[in-house]
Amino acid sequence: MDLGKLADYHTHTPLCRHAEGEPVDYARHAVKIGLGEIGFSDHCPAREEEFDDWRMLLREFPDYVSRVEAARLAVPEIAVRLGLEIDYLENGEPWIEQLSSMAPYDYLIGSVHYIAPGWDIDNPKWIGRWTGIAEIEDIWSAYWRLYAQCARSGYFDFIAHPDLPKKFGHKPDGDLRRFYEPAIEAALVSGTAIEINTSGWHNDCAEQYPARQFLEMMNDAGIPLVISSDAHAPGDVGRDFEKATCLALDTGFTHSTRFEKRKKTLVALPSGVSA
């Protein structure tokens, strides 16, 4: 499959303290596997330095931008884009606006990891909080309420890993469309794209984010698609992109999305047939 039309925009750097490899190494890997573009979207700084231990500090932000710039200069064979993965927090709009003005981004990614202060639901540290079906229902409800707000906010070019609360395999009973519908409607209103994040295949849930049913609903609604790896190491760039493309084609998508200076362009997905 020719991946030359695809971009991987969801990638990290060592500044977030849980990724390895410099942007230049990620860019070289992207060239090696034939991707058309690569973008960086490390975890954003928080207003308070002691917020948590898995993101760059505010004073490291200029270093982040220069490392991405260094990759752009060192690997001219591929377009290198600048993004940021921003945590959507309740009442966090002023900080999002400040972060959004700090660099000439190509795109911004919105994510929900926190459903309450100190409660980042994808952190294995808190696995003991997923105690039973009532708690799973509550966590999913709180998460999706914020996720729909994040989608509706219009701050972001695309939003990340929709059904992240399934990461450790926890899913509520019943039809999950009750969680998906408000998020899809919100993204439609704001014109925000949504990613297929291939890292889910490597988590306990063993399924891409989002579930196939969500993808079908997204395509029916006409929401633009992005394919992302969420790479935390150079070798993860573009991981499972062929599999994700086949799934996208199978759920009815015909295009993915590219971003430059916060303008989106639709590009045809590669055909599912191996070259």
CB of 84 to Zn ion, least distance (A): 10
Mask of contacts with Zn ion, 59-98, x by CB under 5 A? --------------------------x-------------
Give the number of residues in contact with Zn ion, rule: CB under 5 A. 2
Quick one: 8 or 85, whose CB is closer to Zn ion?
A: 85
Cα Dmax for the chain = 52
Q: Which one of the spans 133-141, 200-208, 223-231, 256-264 is the region binding Zn ion (CB under 5 A)?
A: 223-231
Residue 237 DSSP class: T
Q: Which residue is nearest to Zn ion (CB)?
A: 230
| Residue closer to Zn ion, measured from CB, 172 or 197 | 197
| Residue in 224, 137, 217 with CA at minimum distance from that of residue 184 | 217
Strand ranges (E), the chain: 7-8, 37-40, 79-82, 85-87, 109-111, 114-116, 119-120, 158-159, 193-197, 225-228, 255-260, 263-268
Q: Position 184: which residue type?
A: I
Distance in Å, CB of 10 to Zn ion, minimum: 5
d(CA 50, CA 125): 17
Among 87, 106, 230, 240, binds Zn ion (CB under 5 A): 230
Identify which of residues 110 and 224 has a Cβ nearer to Zn ion in the complex: 110
Q: Select 57 or 188, whichever has its Cβ closest to Zn ion.
A: 57
In terms of CB distance, is 230 or 240 closer to Zn ion?
230
Minimal distance, residue 30 CB to Zn ion, in Å: 16
- Nearer to Zn ion among residue 1 and residue 58 (C-beta): 58
CA 195, 198, 203, 207 dihedral sign is positive
Cβ proximity of 27 and 35 under 8 Å: no
Q: Give min distance, CB of 76 to Zn ion, in A.
A: 26
- Residue where the block lists tokens 């070798």: 235
- Closest separation in Å from C-beta 127 to Zn ion: 17
Residue 189 makes CB contacts below 8 A (sequence gap 6+) with: 152
Contacts with Zn ion by CB under 5 A lie at: 85, 230
